Amino acid sequence: MIESLTLAQSSGDGIGPMLLVGIGVGLVLLLFLIVFLATRYKRCPSNRVLVIWGRGGGKQSARCYHGGGQFVWPVIEDFAYMTLEPLVIDIPLEGALSLNNIRVNVPSTFTVGISTDSVMMANAAERLLGLPPQAVREQAQDIILGQLRLVIATLSIEEINKDREKFMGLVNENVTQEINKIGLELINVNIRDITDESGYIQAIGQRAAAEAINKAKVEVAQANRDGATGEAVAQREQTVSVAKEIAASTEGEKAAEQMQRVAVADLEAKAITGEVESKRNQDIAIAERNAETAAASKRAEQSQRVQVAEAEARAVDGENTSRAEIAESNAKLAEIRAEAKRRADVAAAEAYEAILKAEREQEIARLGKEELAPQEIEKQRIEIAAEAEAEKRRREAKGEADAILLKYEAEAAGVQKVLEAKAEGYRRLMEAAANNPNVAPTLLMIEQLPELVREQVKAIQNLKIDKITVWDSGQGNSVIEGKGGGSTANFLSGMIGALPPVHELAEQAGVELPGFLGKVADTPKPKPAAPTESDSDSDKA
């Protein structure tokens, strides 16, 4: 029994140290795990952006956080920081082509930085993560140069020089839109100076100064004139009773006016001379700039090729760390540059097209003023004269038509009155002859008797008898039995007898003529007699 107790005691003494060792190892492992997990919890400073990638991917290639802290799983996730410190970029822009084909120098300073917007942080993580500040600065510089040239190509020198607010607004809008694609935001723009090699901007300032000086000189001359005029008026009022002083005052006024006119004419002549000189210098500068356009374009193309080669060299240096990401970045960078170049080319083409349209409109306006305007005036004058002549003819025709209409209306009214009067007369005649119906036709026949006689006369009025020769034997023979008379009498009575008899006409109409017109006796028709020698001679005659 003593031996069993001793064995149990010895086994218990062996378990205790092993337990302590196990507990110690567990505590060390736990402490190591805690320390390791603590080191994987990454806190993000306020001036940085924490980028975590890995663990499955998905729609977003990385998760971006600004401020706070995030746990980064070991092995399956990794992290990096992007600084939010501003980048100051100097843009030594020279020879940018403006809307009126004048190259200008616009040295400026742009301040940009990575944005804290979620979308823009993701863009920055995709395109700028791992790049040194100089590489980011060069990418932003390329984008800003392209957009600045594009903005200048859409504005004239006057707009750039005078309306700085509009110029700065367009620069902010275009540059911000493009650099946001790579996760940068525009913080500040500082345009240091705007100059041109041709001296056009300086000429504009000199012209403004000359205009101000000329205006001041004119105002001084006007003030001198007003003072001289007031002094002359005072002297005239003071010496109104003295004729000599009045004459001297008048002479002074005329002299002052003459001096004023001479001074004003001199100032106007100088102003016109300065404008002509500025215009000539501007034309010379434009011609020189056009000649330098080709050379500047070649230099720009050479510079672009050098920059592309440098960018490709930098891309090759980073292929050992992340070949896939650099390839994607290069592709997107080339796409951005191609888009910027395309926009610049489109803007240049549109600017040139606008210049051609302006020149065309100017030429059309000049032709319209010099050639088409007189023709248009002559055309309008002819149209007005033709319209006046047509209106005159319309009014004359309308007047003649109204006169003819009134004439016919008056004639119709007169005929109507006559017919109404005749109808009334006929009605009264019928009433008066109600006891003897034959009286009315007789009276109407008598009324028409002159017209009947006139118609009888028309039967022989057109007979043209220049000469009638009658051979009469003097024996008084007549072709009609029972009647005497000479051949001449028989010839005339025969001609009259050829007329339509009035009594026969009345008899055919069923009208009995009054007695004072005579009656026709019923006589037998004469038999034809044998022709005699005298008759034959008469017929021959």
Q: Contacts by 62-67 with C-beta closer than 8 Å and gap 24+?
A: 62/122, 62/125, 62/126, 62/129, 64/118, 64/121, 64/122, 64/124, 64/125, 66/116, 66/121
For residues 62 and 245, the answer to whether their CB atoms sit within 8 Å is: no
Domain limits of the chain? Answer: 44-80, 86-198+308-359, 201-299, 443-540
Whole-angstrom distance, CA of residue 49 vs CA of residue 62? 12
For residue 127, what are the CA distances in angstroms to 67, 140, 176, 425?
21, 12, 16, 124
H or E, element range at 52 = strand 48-54
Task: Report which of 46, 175, 178 is spatially closest to residue 123, judged by C-alpha positions.
Answer: 178
What is 86-198+308-359's CATH topology?
A: Tetrahydropterin Synthase; Chain A (3.30.479)
Residue type, 3: E
Within its chain, how far is the Cα of 503 from the centroid? 94
For residues 98 and 73, the answer to whether their CB atoms sit within 8 Å is: no
Whole-angstrom distance, CA of residue 245 vs CA of residue 101? 64
Q: Mind listing the pLDDT tens digit of every residue in the chain (541 residues)?
A: 444 444 444 445 556 778 888 888 888 888 887 877 777 788 888 888 888 888 765 667 788 888 777 777 777 778 888 888 899 999 988 888 888 888 888 899 999 999 888 888 888 888 888 889 899 999 999 999 999 999 988 988 888 877 788 888 899 999 999 999 989 999 998 888 888 877 777 667 667 677 778 777 777 777 777 877 877 777 767 766 676 767 667 777 787 788 888 888 778 778 787 777 777 777 777 877 776 776 666 776 777 777 776 767 676 666 667 677 776 777 788 888 888 888 888 888 888 888 888 888 888 877 777 777 778 788 888 988 888 888 888 888 888 888 898 888 888 888 888 888 888 877 887 777 777 766 666 767 777 777 777 776 676 666 666 666 656 555 555 444 445 555 555 655 555 554 456 666 666 655 566 555 555 555 555 555 555 444 444 444 3
